[in-house]
Amino acid sequence: MGMYTELVCAFELIEGTPSNNIETLEFMCGQREEHPDELPDHELFSDETRWEWMLQSDSYYFDGKTYSKIENDNIVGSRYVSVRCNLKSYDNEIEKFINWVSPYIQKSYDHYFIGYKRYEEDKEPALIFV
């Protein structure tokens, strides 16, 4: 049946992130009930992937509760994304998710650390840089 992989990441979205990407992230985090009218043009959103609920997936294999949210900071005018979930990444959904959001992440350095992923049987996580 496959093993679970935990994803923990957090990042700030750049100004000018397309509205359909923001709506899609809100839907994926469970903050929007309506399916987005227009999906981003990316392989994550193919019929084979389980993108719709991947950021809300949970199991008993990892400590901590699933928590995924996109928040607006009205003081500085930024949007922040926080993700903690775990899923069976059959079709490399985690890698596709990171690939999709990477161009919209506010980066301070050339290689910006946003979190980690950890396979169920691994003792140490794999760090995620964009």
**Interacting residues of 91 by C-beta distance below 8 A, sequence separation 6+:** 48, 49, 50
| The pLDDT value given to residue 1 | 55
0.75 exceeded by pTM: yes
User: Which residue, among 9, 2, 1, has the nearest Cα to 84 in the 3D structure?
Assistant: 9
Dist. CA 86–CA 83, nearest whole Å: 10
| The pLDDT value given to residue 48 | 72
Give mean pLDDT in consecutive 10-residue pieces for the chain, a chain of 130 residues.
Answer: 89 95 97 93 87 93 91 90 94 95 90 93 94
Structural domain boundaries of the chain?
A: 5-129
